[in-house]
Amino acid sequence: MKRISTSFVTTVDHHSEEGKDLITALRKYIKSDDKERGLSRRVCVKGRMGKNNPNAYKYSVKNTARLGYGGHSHQTIKLLDALKADLYIYDKS
């Protein structure tokens, strides 16, 4: 079963200048569009582990207690540990 989010925008390499520029541009666009349309939204950047990530051990169940990280399927990956980042646009509530 595929999971689908209507809030998902794209996946970027948030460590590169191009990725950082894209995130900045999207945030500026959403801010100006919200001002024009009277909306209140935010851009959320969520870390994605990726394949062969050297930081994957931090998020395994074996290291949960020792390192204080997650260890479950719905955990949050820190952006510093992530290879890529997913961008989402959420309504502020």
Structural domain contains residue 42: yes
Structural domain contains residue 3: no
Structural domain contains residue 44: yes
Token pair for 75 = 């955990």
- Residue 10 confidence (pLDDT) above 80: yes
Structural domain contains residue 29: yes
* 25-29 own/partner pairs: CB under 8 Å, 24+ apart: 26/87, 26/89
What pLDDT, in 10s, does the model give residues 24-79? 999 999 999 999 999 999 999 999 888 888 888 777 766 555 555 555 556 788 99
pLDDT at 34: 97
Does residue 56 or residue 19 have the better pLDDT?
Answer: 19
On the CB side of 7, CA atoms within 13 Å amount to 13
- Residue 87 confidence (pLDDT) above 60: yes
Give how many domains the chain has, as a whole number.
Answer: 1
Structural domain contains residue 36: yes
Structural domain contains residue 33: yes
Structural domain contains residue 64: yes
* DSSP 8-state secondary structure symbol assigned to residue 16: S
pLDDT at 20: 96
- Residue 1 confidence (pLDDT) above 60: yes
Burial of 59 (0-12, 13-18, 19+ CB in 10 A): buried
